Structure 1
Amino acid sequence: MTKKILYLLLFSLIIYSCKKEEQKIKTVDQTIEVATQNLPKDPPIYLPSSAPENEIITHIKKRQQVLSLLLKSVAPEKADELYKNLIKENDSALTLLQIRKETLLEKYYGYSDYDPQTQVYTMKFPKEVEKLVKDYRAAGIEFWEIGEGYTELRMLPTYYFKLFAGKFSPDYQTYLEMITAEDQVLFQSDAAIRISWRDVAKRVESREKFLIDFPNSKLIKEIKQQLKEYQYAYLLGYDNTQTHEQGKLNPENLEEFKRIIRENPNSETSTIIKELLPNDFDRDGIFDFVTKRIGYNLYE
């Protein structure tokens, strides 16, 4: 009799455990179903221009949570699509926030405190500003100084990588890894390039490689345009960091050009440099040659 009771108890526990697990699975499925119903469609979900600041921040947070759940079950191609849509959606939300925080953005640079002994800048905020900056960062948004005293809002450089990494098709995964690393630093400000010439070359080379590795990618048009922009920066520089003076290449740029030819002789950029070097151009001649050759002019 005791054994029968024991067996009945064990059987009841097994049934209860199975039902509990089944209920747990149903709950997860229902959560994902709800997330699916709130997906950004084409076009993405845009907030009205009258949306208050707290509503915009809440929207960004909730969308991240929804997509995080959904990405557990979607195909890579769908993840690619969601990524592009989310960028549009967040860019729109950031524009609304920029308008609402215009006064703070204008003052932001003034909170920077320079220590002449350490030669380091640190940010010293009033308490209410410090809290706001932390709240924005918790939503994945940062105040990004872009030079000349200007500050803008942007998503943290790791925001999309943390959300989408490992969910993409190979070309999107490569692209995301590339721009996540690049966006950690300011590329240019005040008409000057802020990274080394070697690092500019890396941006050129990574895009040339992408075009070879993924010739049928949906990102091709975007990558080609980026390649032209970085080729321009690498070959000509910007007004305050030019690669040449009076038609003569600066020694450091000439050495860098020789390096890329030596290490990557078959690249498109190396080919352009090989065509450029033998010519005795004046300043305008170099500019005209490069802009026509790459099909891009920064000032047009």
Structure 2
Amino acid sequence: MKGISNPSTHYAMKQKLYCCLSFALIITSCHEGAGTSNQTIVKTDSTEVVSPNPDSSKSAKVDIMAGRNDVMTTEQLLSLIRRHKDDIEAKLPTLSKTEANDLYDSYLKTNEALVAKVMLSELNLLDKFYNEDAVNQTRVKKLGNLLAKYDLEYDEIGEGIVEIKTKSDFYDNIFKNYVSDDYKAYLAIKKEEDKVPYSADAGLLISFKEIGERVIVWEKLLAQYPSSKLIDKIKQQYQSYQSDYLFGLDNTSTIEFQNSEKAYINPENIEEFNQFMQKYPSSPTNRLIKILLKNFKDENIRNLIDSEQQKL
């Protein structure tokens, strides 16, 4: 297991993580309006989360957190996650593709909120994840085995931070046979990409060549489904990969001595950029590469790239 690279950074990232978790648990995940009367409501504090199987006796109204002194245990939360998944799988065969798309959108929010509550329940253990004490490691292993039964797993994101996430094929397995082609393609791509860790400790864990290939995958998805309801997510992922491909991350940067006269692009990255442009001569990303190669010493280079990305 990895250690902590920087205590101050570790603390700052944890504070951000805790804030994000708290925020995730107060967002509204239900859809009001048409069809709401046929849905079972699950409350998360002041938040209502929709479970779309009103006929299931298991789905009777449930309080995820009835009050400050009545917090559900990890086991209870995992049981709720399982019941909700079962409800979704029972409902999907009765829906049109458009309805299945909508159900995926709402279920993603609901399920991620529940997973966030599991993380809150286990924050003490996650905080000590890398503690090599035998008792602690036994607890880590025990929880990992329990999570696996519910299609969840640890996510070691670096800087000593460990989260809990759904397995890479979780949503694809549930929805692939029911959603429209754009959603199906999106889920299949996410499943494949999430199989391997992407970054940790402010550094990339896959090669720039692999990131370049991911850029092309999302570029093609964007071109194939320009009117998809997922277009904002597709663009966001596409542009994120473009930025990482061009600049890297702090500990795997493409530019050395950035923002100085000594700045230069690593030779291996220049070679990769040239190979990319030769392999994909019509890719819109080539324009960004050329801008970077010409202006990498400019202190506003990221703003230049961001501006051009919005035009693509």
TM normalised by structure 1 equals 0.75
1:225 to partner: Cα distance? 1.5
Distance 1:66 1:160 in 2: 14
What's the counterpart of residue 4 of structure 1?
A: none
Query: Tell me, what secondary structure is at the counterpart of 2:131?
Result: helix
Confirm or deny: 8 A CA contact 2:215 2:238 kept in the other structure. Answer: yes
What's the counterpart of residue 138 of structure 1?
A: 149
Q: CA RMSD in A?
A: 2.7
Are residue 259 (structure 1) and residue 275 (structure 2) matched? yes
Distance 2:228 2:210 in 1: 25
- In structure 2, relative to structure 1, the CA distance for the partners of 1:131 and 1:238 (3 Å cut) is closer
1:112 to partner: Cα distance? 10
- Bigger Rg over Cα: 1
* 1:191-246 superposed Cα distances (whole Å, 9 cap, x missing partner): 21111101111221111111110011001111112222111111111111111224
Are residue 152 (structure 1) and residue 169 (structure 2) matched? no
What's the counterpart of residue 47 of structure 1?
A: 64
What's the counterpart of residue 112 of structure 2?
A: 91
- In structure 2, relative to structure 1, the CA distance for the partners of 1:76 and 1:111 (3 Å cut) is farther
TM normalised by structure 2 equals 0.72
- In structure 2, relative to structure 1, the CA distance for the partners of 1:276 and 1:53 (3 Å cut) is closer
Aligned match for 1:81, one of 87, 93, 102:
102
Distance 2:218 2:101 in 1: 19
Distance 1:166 1:112 in 2: 45
Aligned match for 2:286, one of 266, 270, 277:
270
Aligned match for 1:70, one of 91, 101, 120:
91
> AA paired with 1:109?
Y
What's the counterpart of residue 28 of structure 1?
A: none
Aligned match for 2:306, one of 285, 291, 300:
291
User: Structure 1: where are the runs of 5+ without partners?
Assistant: 1-35, 114-123
Aligned match for 1:222, one of 223, 227, 233:
233
Distance 2:168 2:295 in 1: 42
- In structure 2, relative to structure 1, the CA distance for the partners of 1:197 and 1:55 (3 Å cut) is same
> AA paired with 2:114?
A
User: Structure 2: where are the runs of 5+ without partners?
Assistant: 1-37, 43-47, 52-62, 257-261
Paired residues in the alignment total 249
> AA paired with 1:102?
L
- In structure 2, relative to structure 1, the CA distance for the partners of 1:295 and 1:200 (3 Å cut) is same
Q: How does 1:149-298 map to 2 (within 5 A)?
A: 149-245=160-256, 246-277=262-293, 279=294, 281-282=296-297, 284=299, 286-294=301-309
Which structure has greater helix proportion?
Answer: 1
- In structure 2, relative to structure 1, the CA distance for the partners of 1:167 and 1:156 (3 Å cut) is same
- In structure 2, relative to structure 1, the CA distance for the partners of 1:112 and 1:155 (3 Å cut) is farther
Query: Tell me, what secondary structure is at the counterpart of 2:65?
Result: coil
Confirm or deny: 8 A CA contact 2:100 2:175 kept in the other structure. Answer: yes
What's the counterpart of residue 57 of structure 2?
A: none
1:110 to partner: Cα distance? 3.1
- In structure 2, relative to structure 1, the CA distance for the partners of 1:59 and 1:213 (3 Å cut) is same
Distance 1:91 1:109 in 2: 24
Confirm or deny: 8 A CA contact 1:192 1:240 kept in the other structure. Answer: yes
Distance 1:73 1:111 in 2: 49
- In structure 2, relative to structure 1, the CA distance for the partners of 1:77 and 1:213 (3 Å cut) is same
What's the counterpart of residue 82 of structure 2?
A: 61
* 1:232-271 superposed Cα distances (whole Å, 9 cap, x missing partner): 1111111111112243221111111111211111211112
Distance 1:154 1:280 in 2: 39
